[in-house]
Amino acid sequence: MVRASVPVWKFSPHYYHLSTSALEAALRKVAAYREWRQFDPGPNHHIDARYAAMPAFTKKDIRQNFPDGLLPACKDVEQGLATGEIELVETSGTTDDKVTNFWNQKWWDASERASWKLNSYTHEIATGDHREAILVNPRNVGFVSDIIDLPMEKRRLARFLYLNEKTNPLSWSSTHMDRMIDELNTFQPMVLEANPSYLARLCRYVAAHNKEVFQPGIIVFTYEYPTNFHYRQIRLVFSAPITSSYGTTETGYVFMQCENGNFHQNTQFCRVDFQPFKPEHGGPLLGRILVTPLDNPWCYLVRFATGDIVHLQESGECACGRHSGVILSSIAGRKVNLTLTCSGRLVTLLELDNTIGVLEGIDMYKLIQPDARTYELHLVSQRPDKERLSEDVLGVLRRLYGQEANIAVIFDTDIAPESSGKYLVSRTIFPVDLDDYLDKDISLKND
């Protein structure tokens, strides 16, 4: 049997230079990586092989080493804070997920600007002083005000307008959504950045009430995985081009979707290592990424496990002509979104979403897997024929998870986001250890 292999990507000499500096600085100077020195095959080996020999760095590692263990001794945190070069930011999330990071605004802005080049529309529109409206949970960015409505001028910051100050989108009234529509019409943003679930919620309202909405130059999805239903609901209202931007507080902007739908690596600002799953779990084109931020004087993270599950573009190329770095055909969700079939095969959010996405008339859904063969699907739908919908859902889910799957379909009137402000579409209640699914046998070309 001929085994499929991962594509070969092209990288600039500068990328390899920055990759080498990042790894060597961490191993030599940063306490958190002291134990990693034993894994380094040494400078006579290709840098990709040196990275491949290293473990992954996790949020738990950040928590255990913050602050001094994450920086070289020569870096003075107090001084960095005093001069305003850095701030401390806490990522939103559950207790397990929460970490404090050093935040270097200058590097972050530069990473964002570089990511804009990876899509023709953002490359043209995003000049750095363009008007941008943002529709997200204010817990992630913006101004929180749950009781009092903030007037527009209180939700402006530089070139940004934050359309929503409420932490719970279930509290959005028609007045609140009319205000968003009016403000889009008045502010006329070039870019509309949005959590897809939040924009889809607004679009369901706009479509149901036949409202007119201003069309921005481009819509950029952030923070959440956009489902097929989100796309459909948003497309009923917006004809503007749509792209997805992927990154984390720790790593800056990592992937941007180009105008042809593939995702390109932001090679100037991060190194990406790909670890494929075993073939029976979708490898070698499906796997996880480990990200090393490049050239950030306040970040020495190496092989940070962002939690993103990705699907490689098999050809290693894209018709848009951008050829530097890793190219993905899709982001397949996050580790937390993985579920398992009754026979134990990994199911990504992408696969689940494409399965449920064939159905019509679903506003939102959430799939929870309490144990190996039990699944709870929560559905929000305006369809009157709930029994028919229920049967259809059971049919497609049994084909995916197994005929023996024990599936409960629960109709809800609405689904709230998690405390992080982001919507959860799928997860297991039991732990899934990715190490059990990664293909350790696949070796890098440059070994």
In angstroms, give the least distance from the CB of 328 to Zn ion: 10
CA distance 44 to 49: 10
Q: Look up residue 155 and give its two tokens.
A: 């939700």
Compare residues 207 and 320 and give the one whose CB is closer to Zn ion. 320
What's the closest the beta carbon of residue 237 comes to Zn ion, in angstroms?
26
Site string for Zn ion, 208-247 (x = CB under 5 A): ----------------------------------------
In angstroms, what CA-CA distances link 368 with 36, 409, 437? 37, 11, 20
Q: Which residue, 195 or 262, has its beta carbon nearer to Zn ion?
A: 262
CB of 89 to Zn ion, least distance (A): 31
What's 21-82 look like in SS3? HHHHHHHHHEHHHHHHHHHCCCCCCCHHHHHHCCCCECHHHHHHHCCHHHCECCCCHHHHHH
Query: Where do we find the tokens 């939700």?
Result: 155
Farthest CA pair distance, the chain: 67
Secondary structure of residue 347 in the 3-state scheme: strand
Please say which residue, 126 or 203, places its beta carbon nearer to Zn ion: 126
- Within residues 52-71, the interface with Zn ion by CB under 5 A covers none
Nearer to Zn ion, 49 or 320 (CB): 320
Give 169 or 226: the residue with its C-beta nearer to Zn ion. 226
Strand partners, 160: 132, 157
Nearer to Zn ion, 122 or 426 (CB): 122
Binding flags for Zn ion, 316-335, as an x/- string (CB under 5 A): --x-x---------------
Measured from the CB atom, is 326 or 407 closer to Zn ion?
326
The tokens for 375 are 């699944």
Question: Which of 260/324 has CB closer to Zn ion?
Answer: 260
Strand order in the sheet with 132-135: 156-157, 160-162, 132-135, 191-194, 218-221, 242-248, 252-257, 263-265, 327-334, 304-312, 286-293, 270-276
Site map 248..287 versus Zn ion, x via CB under 5 A:
----------x-x-x-------------------------
Q: Minimal CA–CA distance to 256: which of 350, 349, 327, 354?
A: 327
Number of residues that this document lists for the chain: 447
Stretch that binds Zn ion, among 99-107, 224-232, 314-322, 419-427 (CB under 5 A): 314-322
Min dist CB 324 to Zn ion, Å, is: 11
If the CB atoms of residues 233 and 262 are measured against Zn ion, the closer one turns out to be: 262
Toward Zn ion, which CB reaches closer, 94 or 315?
315
- Cβ of residue 125: shortest distance to Zn ion, in angstroms? 17
Least separation in angstroms between CB 329 and Zn ion: 10
Closest approach of Cβ 316 to Zn ion, in Å? 12
CB 101 within 8 A of CB 89: yes
Supply the minimum distance, in Å, between the C-beta of residue 114 and Zn ion: 15
Token pair listed for 308:
């993103």
User: Closest separation between CB of residue 121 and Zn ion, Å?
Assistant: 12
Residue type, 101: N
Least distance CB 123 / Zn ion (angstroms): 12
Q: What is the DSSP letter of 117?
A: T
Size of the site for Zn ion (CB under 5 A): 5
Q: Can you name the residues that pair with 365 across neighbouring β-strands?
A: 379
The residues near 156 (Cβ < 8 Å, ≥ 6 apart) are 162
Give one word for 82, left, alpha or beta, with left for phi > 0 and alpha for psi -120 to 50: alpha
Q: Could you give the CA distance from residue 213 to residue 168 in angstroms, rounded to a whole number?
A: 23
The residues that touch Zn ion, with contacts defined as CB under 5 A, are 258, 260, 262, 318, 320
